[in-house]
Structure formats: C-alpha cells, structure tokens
Chains A and B, each alone.
Chain A
Amino acid sequence: MPIQINTSIVGKEYPPFAVTVERGRIKAFAEAIGDLNPFYLDDEVGRASEWGDVIAPPTFPITFRSARGDSAALLRDLGVDISRVLHGEQEFEQFRPIRPGETLLCRARIVDISEKAGRSGPMAFVTRETAVTDASNEIVATMRQVTVVRL
C-alpha cells in the first residue's frame, strides 16, 4: 500500500536560520569531495586572491542546516521516514563567493509537491527553495532541492 504524505505544506515557510561560515568547514568539505583547489584550502593563496580569503566550493551551501528548517524538519512535516527519500534534483545559484567568518541567513520554503507513477511505483516530488542572504540583506545564493519520496 502506498503511503500518504502531507501535501498541505506547499507554501510553508520555515523559520529563518543563521549560519556562520567556518574556515575549517570549508576545508573539510572540499577535502571530503577530494577537491584540493588551493582557493578553498590555502589561506595564503586566498589572501592573495581577488576575494582576499579562501572561498567555499559551489555546493557548499548544502551544509547550511538547522534543526528547525532542514531536511529532518521537512520529513517530519511530510510524515515520511528517511529510508523512503532520495535526492532528485539540486540547483545552486551563486551571486558572489562565500568566505569564512560571514554570518548568513537562510530562508527555506516548500514551493511544490507533485505525485507521479515511477518505474518502481508511485513517487512524490517535493521542491524546496532556500534563499541565502548576508548581513546587509543582499542575496548571496539560492538553492533549489527536489526530494523524491517513494510512496
């Protein structure tokens, strides 16, 4: 029997949460990917660069999490166990590089839920968008994430 998910959360906005970008986190993230680009890892190269410091890799904003507004909160709202979900799509738009020490504000909302018949059974596609802004309220990045739920 397919499970039912709570589709009433379309349009829901999660409480904004702040993240402070840590130098060590940028490096650990790049190293976990095996991306040893010196602009991420080497403080001296960063200082001499046009950005004046190391910068984060393009997919780094995926580390911006909060207990109240991240994937775990989404699963609770949908009423779905983590074993049923897959990552369907992911997009980042970046308006400027992200540097260590900045505090950024993340605002996530559910923009769409659609159900389709997949090859392996019925599935739901949950689309969430997150806007990331800086201390002067300028947009730094946006994320769009599609979570696939095996119903």
Chain B
Amino acid sequence: MKYSRVYFEDVQVGDEIPSLVKGPIQQIQLTRYAGASGDFNPIHQDDEFAKAAGMGGVFGHGMLTMGFVAQAVTDWVGAGRVRRIGVRFTGLVRLKDVITCRGRILGKSSKDDVNLIDLEIWAENQKGEKIVTGKATVAVPSREP
C-alpha cells in the first residue's frame, strides 16, 4: 500500500522494498526539473550542446534520478523518515529510458529510542544497467510503545 506505515519489527534484513518504475523519460520532464531545481545546465536541454560536449546527446539530471530513488524509499517508509540518502551516479539516463528504482534492507539498529533501518538503493534502466547506486537510512516507529 502506498504511504503505508512501516514498523521496525516487521522489517527483516534482506527484504526488498517495492520497486518504483519511472518514465519513459521525456524532454519535458527534464525541462520541468530544471525549472523546479534551478539546474539549467544546457547539457540536459540542448541536444547540440550535449553532443558538442562529447556526451552524445541530452541526458537526465542525476538529481532527478536521485529524486526517483528517494521516492521509492518514501513510498515505502512514508514521508519525513529519511535521515540519510547518498548515491553515486554510475550511468546516464537517456530520453525514452524507463528507470526502475529498488532497495534492499541491509541492517537494523536502535539507538536512543530511535529505530533505524539501513538500505542499499539503486536504479536501473530497461537494459538492466545501474544508473545510480547508494545507501539510505530511515527512522521508523516501533510497534512497542
């Protein structure tokens, strides 16, 4: 269920979170993300500029893909629960790509009455190539009061 509440006791190391599929990526989304984020690098908008820069054409903002991955985490755990999220950008997102965001539980810990879950997170394109890889830490409630 979307925006469901995740309880610490119900999460097991090795579990995967529900995957999130985004795209196909369209130019209008890159333009919209540029406006919303303030990143107007023409490499994401202007195909000729991107080719002249040696990038073979327009590609998506890494931060847009990171936003997708963060959404996969918050769709699962709920908004406002992410304590840390970090990624490495390992591949380019091209127009028409379909991006699947995934995550897997790496560990659980409790400290000072806060229950933390560590995840590995990644996004891959329709060819199975990893576009971003990283980790996230989320704080979740316990069933025990």
Mask, A62-105, CB within 8 Å of B = 1, is 11010000010000000000111011111111110100000000
Would B70 and A57 count as touching, CB distance under 8 A? yes
CB proximity of A69 to chain B, nearest CB, Å: 13
Q: Enumerate chain A residues within 8 angstroms of B68, measured Cβ to Cβ.
A: 33-34
CB-contact partner of B74 in A35, A90, A144, under 8 A: A35
Contact of A32 with B by CB under 8 A? yes
CB proximity of B131 to chain A, nearest CB, Å: 12
Contact of A25 with B by CB under 8 A? yes
Q: Enumerate chain A residues within 8 angstroms of B53, measured Cβ to Cβ.
A: 83-84
Would A89 and B87 count as touching, CB distance under 8 A? yes
In Å, the complex CA distance between A37 and B81 comes to 13
Q: Enumerate chain B residues within 8 angstroms of A95, measured Cβ to Cβ.
A: 83
Number of B residues contacting the other chain (C-beta, 8 Å)? 41
Q: Enumerate chain A residues within 8 angstroms of B107, measured Cβ to Cβ.
A: none
Of the listed residues A37, A58, A62, A63, the one surrounded by the most CB atoms of chain B closer than 10 A to its CB is A58
Would A91 and B86 count as touching, CB distance under 8 A? yes
Q: Enumerate chain A residues within 8 angstroms of B61, measured Cβ to Cβ.
A: 87
Contact of B108 with A by CB under 8 A? no
Would A88 and B88 count as touching, CB distance under 8 A? yes
CB proximity of A63 to chain B, nearest CB, Å: 5
Interface residues on A, range: 35 or more
Q: Enumerate chain B residues within 8 angstroms of A58, measured Cβ to Cβ.
A: 70, 73-74, 82, 85
Contact of A48 with B by CB under 8 A? no
Q: Enumerate chain A residues within 8 angstroms of B75, measured Cβ to Cβ.
A: 37
Q: Closest chain B residue to A93 by CB distance?
A: B84
Would B37 and A57 count as touching, CB distance under 8 A? no
Q: Enumerate chain B residues within 8 angstroms of A94, measured Cβ to Cβ.
A: 82-84
Interface residues of chain B, those whose CB is within 8 Å of chain A, are: 3, 22, 29, 32-33, 35-39, 41-43, 49, 52-54, 61-64, 66-68, 70-71, 73-75, 78-80, 82-89, 134
List of 4 A-B pairs having minimum Cβ-Cβ separation, nearest first: A91-B86, A39-B79, A83-B53, A32-B36
